[in-house]
Amino acid sequence: MPLLKPLFGISEICVAHGIKDAVLCPGSRSAALTLAFARNPKISCEVLSDERSAGFVAMGMAIQTDTPVVMVCTSGSAAYNFSPAVVEAYFQEVPLIVLTADRPPEWINQYDGQTIFQRDIFGKHVKKSYELPADYAHPDAQWHIERVVNEAISLSQKHPKGPVHINVPIREPFYPDANEQYDFNGNVRVVKNPEIKPTLSNVVWAELLEIWEAAENKIIAIGQNSEDLDAELTALDQEEEVIVIADVISNVNTEKAIKSHDTFIAKLGEAESEIDLLLTFGKSFISKNLKQFIRKNKPTHHWHIQNHPDLIDPLQSLTMKIEMDPKEFLRELSETCSIRRMRSADEAEESEFKTNWLVADEKAKIYVDKFLASADFGELKATQLLLEQLPESSILHLGNSMPVRYANLFGTKSSKKIQVNANRGTSGIDGIVSTSVGQAKKTDKVLTCLVGDVSFFYDRNAFWNANLPNNLKIVLINNEGGNIFRIIDGPSKQAEVADYFVGKQTKTAELLAKENGLEYLKASNEEEMKNALKALYEANKASILEVFTDPENDVRIFKDLKNGFSLI
């Protein structure tokens, strides 16, 4: 048996578990791993030199396919450069198989090149870390490697999904012989470990239904979510008391979902603040106003439904944690409510509580539209114009800081069925464009990335990629720095805000686009942006639309919008 053969079988095990994609970062110590995937005809490989960008590209691919993606790098600092993407994937619950080549253990901390402490390098930010043996001669070594790889892949896909790390010490020689063939004949041991869906007992359901039926003021709030819950929420909406609040990253497109809550929720009166029952689904909420509202007006009962073992309570009001698939829970709840209504002779009437929330939502929509109709051009209006022009059934990836907050003020049109994603696991600015590149590679749909200038230039190695997909469209808002620091109270009141917080910069994307073969468009006013958006979506190649706005004006417009609304 060739010395490196146990490593060659790793790609076969991945294929057997349904994995189709690998992102490979060039290196020497990782040669056996790289060749194992590159030569496997059933694996599609991307080769990226910057490990930080590569990690986010892999994560974007995994988000779009909902299947683990393999990441391979050499030893040393290369492994550490995977960290930002691994951390984001952990908190966003995205499955990744992280393979890091390493020196054998006796050479660690011996002044040997590209050698660091790689065992458990990602700490608590992976579901589990594994260490393969450094010697493969003994027959048990292949059994050990196969067992570990099977376990790691299965674990990455069990809820909550997430990254797993396999550290691979490799001795020299770490290149196969020139004439050595990789034989992908399926002669590896595959161990499947299917996940069993959790269910609730009849006793627990009876308790929940008793609370549900007794509650008059009910709210369902949905944070970041990729599961299609529209059919179940629409069916449940016929239960007249229910209010559905949906952040833009919830991917909820039901007709009556409230999406303007960020504008009006802080202005609600006492009657609209008394919540008998709150149901929450998904992960993080964008709206700080929503979080503060719930923390201040704690519901009598709060159920959070999610397949996750940890007790996560950001609203500080949880009374019941339900580890169950949200879709299954909503389906069973709506079916039970439907049966109850059929047995009842009462006519369904919309409650005053729900009516008041819907009226507030409509007032907020009208106010925002009227405000922007007469407002100066800036990043706020630019965001609205983009959301209006998004192609139907396309994908929108929102950058952090202001882009995701602006988009949450408007929401997307339910009829367009836009898939919305954002890196809200850690809400960092790194990897936004790279994630979008990864997503675009795994779909035929148009993918639009709305991103600020600091995030864009921070992740410019996303374009150091030989195969940028034609469906990738970048809308870059360039107001010369991190303008959020001019908006939030703390830094905006400091004399050093421009130099030490905003980080004023004067770069543009034109030369970067030219260098990397992207179509480049620009706009500085409303008419130019409308024309540029049309050209952006007509271009049959990866494209950048750079929108120039005045940062001071952007701050004034946003504050005028936030301060001008009243429910009276």
Distance of CA 454 to the CA centre of its chain: 19
Distance of CA 372 to the CA centre of its chain: 29
List the structure tokens of 359.
């009226």
Look at the block and give the residue holding tokens 């729900």.
354
Determine the Cα–Cα distance for residues 206 and 507; give it in Å rounded to an integer. 61
**What is the reported pLDDT for 1?**
47
CATH code of 202-344+352-358, in short, is: 3.40.50.1220
Look at the block and give the residue holding tokens 């986010």.
56
Determine the Cα–Cα distance for residues 494 and 30; give it in Å rounded to an integer. 48
**What is the reported pLDDT for 263?**
94
Determine the Cα–Cα distance for residues 472 and 439; give it in Å rounded to an integer. 9
**What is the reported pLDDT for 462?**
96
Q: What is the DSSP letter of 399?
A: -
Q: Which helix (H) or strand (E) holds 101?
A: strand 96-102
Determine the Cα–Cα distance for residues 420 and 223; give it in Å rounded to an integer. 12
In 3D space, the residue among 21, 73, 14, 23 whose CA is nearest the CA of residue 47 turns out to be 23
Q: Which helix (H) or strand (E) holds 409?
A: helix 402-410
Determine the Cα–Cα distance for residues 504 and 346; give it in Å rounded to an integer. 63
Determine the Cα–Cα distance for residues 347 and 342; give it in Å rounded to an integer. 10
Determine the Cα–Cα distance for residues 74 and 31; give it in Å rounded to an integer. 8
Q: How many residues does the chain have?
A: 568
Determine the Cα–Cα distance for residues 412 and 414; give it in Å rounded to an integer. 6
Domain boundaries, the chain: 5-169, 202-344+352-358, 375-564
Mapping DSSP to helix (H, G, I), strand (E, B) and coil, where does residue 382 land?
helix
Backbone Cα Rg of the chain: 26
Q: Which helix (H) or strand (E) holds 520?
A: strand 519-523
- Measured at the alpha carbon of residue 476, what is the angle toward residues 474 and 481, in degrees to the nearest 5? 150
- What phi and psi, each to the nearest 5 degrees, are found at residue 335? -65, -40
Count the neighbouring beta carbons within 10 Å of the beta carbon of residue 179.
5
* Positive or negative torsion for Cα 385, 391, 392, 398: negative
* Positive or negative torsion for Cα 374, 375, 381, 387: negative
Determine the Cα–Cα distance for residues 38 and 501; give it in Å rounded to an integer. 44
Amino acid identity, residue 493?
A: K
CATH code of 5-169, in short, is: 3.40.50.970
Determine the topology of domain 375-564 in CATH.
Answer: Rossmann fold (3.40.50)
Determine the Cα–Cα distance for residues 143 and 131; give it in Å rounded to an integer. 14
Do 175 and 31 form a contact (C-beta atoms < 8 A)?
Answer: yes
Spell out, as residue ranges, where the chain has pLDDT lower than 70: 1-2, 239-240, 340-349
Count the neighbouring beta carbons within 10 Å of the beta carbon of residue 339.
10
Q: What is the DSSP letter of 161?
A: P
Note the pLDDT tens digit of each residue in 520-567.
Answer: 999 999 999 999 999 999 999 999 999 999 999 999 999 999 999 998
* SS3 of 418-448: CEEEECCCCCCCCCHHHHHHHHHHCCCCCEE
Determine the Cα–Cα distance for residues 510 and 527; give it in Å rounded to an integer. 20
> 270: which residues sit within 8 A by CB, 6+ positions away?
none
Query: Environment class of residue 177 by beta-carbon count within 10 Å: exposed (0-12), middle (13-18) or buried (19+)?
Result: exposed
**What is the reported pLDDT for 240?**
67
Query: Environment class of residue 81 by beta-carbon count within 10 Å: exposed (0-12), middle (13-18) or buried (19+)?
Result: middle
List the structure tokens of 208.
């929940």
Q: Which helix (H) or strand (E) holds 458?
A: helix 453-458
Look at the block and give the residue holding tokens 């109709």.
373
**What is the reported pLDDT for 282?**
95
Look at the block and give the residue holding tokens 């391979």.
72
Per-position b or e across 394-425, b if 16+ CB within 10 A of its CB: bbbbbbbbbbbbbbbbbbbebeeebbbbbbbb
Asked if the domains 202-344+352-358 and 375-564 are classified in one and the same CATH topology, the answer is yes
